[in-house]
Structure 1
């Protein structure tokens, strides 16, 4: 698809309270779309905006503070920098959580609230047809070559390693850590090894669904 030309005009991003206007350059394309304009990477950089797909929102720094604009609010083009009044019905709508694999109810796919039901249905179909390509548990990741995925610590050799004091955990956290370590060992993701100079403590963090998430605390190690 070849652009027909380039057009430039001021764009104002506002949440109804704070606003910011920047001159944005657009390519004019011979295509039909439900969007009048699409802000590209350069425009996002001009606004110094920080979008978050998970939250369905974008943060835009303004002279009076950060404006948080959600997906159901309107971005508009205007020559004035006055903030636009956002109607009451344009309140934030939480993204929908969709369970792709019924065997793993806690692993969900986030679907933006602005997506129509028709588009949402078409998005789900290829995911369901290719459900086997997702790693739902550590055992599904067995055989991943080291050239594709490898974790390592970028340690400065000028600093002396420090041994952390062993932290005591309760029986529930200890059992959860043991089960996760065994899963990783069986999947071949980790292997037993003993370090003589330093050690990092595991940290067990509770999830919202009542299970545990194992992390490694490298602070001070």
Structure 2
């Protein structure tokens, strides 16, 4: 029970990749025979009534009242490297969770969950993966992130991927094939990613625009340091990472 504060009465809440998106506040409930999606995720995935198939059987909520489902949809659910198709029932009621994963998903994954230990454990590729409540993608039982293998790309030692050394051979081969096929989308240094959209990421100084900027006394650098700074600034300007701004005296 390392990593948990005992005693506790917490529900088992994890993060899963559902429909291609990382979804938080996913409750794993052995007492539920159904896998449920609540309105937050329904809207977040951009689902529409036309995406659903009819499901007419009413459900009983935690409060004991009858709930009529909006419909049913099948979505892929990824835990670690394992992906299973799950039939979700969509309900339009409030919940502090986005999803409830019930016995159907647990049994398909051959998983064992423990609210006491805040863990889900399941077999994957002949290995046992023990997953914490923060998500189901952290390997354990000897499969550590430090066990990495360096794979050089295109014969350039400065360009390489690091993959799990203990990945199953077939899975590792598929991963490397995918990475090499898409190697052109990787930026190996900041200068290979010019003109990054400021809507994606932008660093701004937390200053008051109403205050007149003051010129600071220049710092005296050695010739070698000054040349290195000028060279680095020129590279960043050329890549569009920084822009020069002139203030009135």
| TM-score range relative to shorter protein | 0.3 to 0.5
Alignment TM-score, normalising by the size of structure 2: 0.41
Alignment TM-score, normalising by the size of structure 1: 0.45
Larger Rg: 2
